Amino acid sequence: MSSLSYLRWRKSSVQSQIQSNRSLISSTEDKIARLRQALSEISSSLSDLQSVKSSINSLSIDLNSWRGNEEDKFEDKYDSYKDSVKTYVSKVEDAKEAIHDDIRRYEAEKASYQSSINSLQYSLNSLNWQITQAQRELS
């Protein structure tokens, strides 16, 4: 393989890598957009859920209606329900944080792909210069 052919082959390879990284960036941007949409939806749901939790926790109970064993059963079930809601809210908050983490991770991946493209672009410019020099030598 001649020097010029080799340079052209390398140029083609670098161009292919650039295109591959651009595709990865596009795919990553799609993932980020979907995660941001999910984050928006879960944030809205979490706000609603926290309002419900607040209502449940501040529920005013007429204890005159509940006495003795019935009052104890009611309080146990009410406390259990409050704990269940608290646990659910906590899990939704954890899911929201996990989505935030995924967004940060994908943004870092995207930055890495962009950095790779910049490096490959530098290599491509160098190869173009080398190809021009090799063509001059052949002329």
Tokens of 16: 């292919």
Do 121 and 11 contact (CB within 8 A), yes or no? no
Which pLDDT does position 78 carry in this prediction? 85
**What ranges do the domains of the chain cover?**
3-53+70-138
Per DSSP, 66 falls in state -
Query: For residues 57 and 85, what is the distance between their CA atoms, to the nearest angstrom?
Result: 10
| Strand blocks (E) in the chain | none
Mind listing the pLDDT tens digit of every residue in the chain (139 residues)?
689 999 999 999 999 999 999 999 999 999 999 999 999 999 999 998 888 888 888 877 776 766 777 777 888 888 898 899 999 999 999 999 999 999 999 999 999 999 999 999 999 999 999 999 999 988 7
The pLDDT of residue 63 is 66
pLDDT of residue 66: 67
pLDDT value, residue 1:
67
Residue type, 84: S
Which candidate, 8, 85, 9, 98, places its Cα nearest to that of 49?
Answer: 85
Summarize pLDDT for 75-107 with one digit per residue, the tens.
888 889 889 999 999 999 999 999 999 999 999
User: DSSP string of 25-74?
Assistant: HHHHHHHHHHHHHHHHHHHHHHHHHHHHHHHHHT----GGG--HHHHHHH
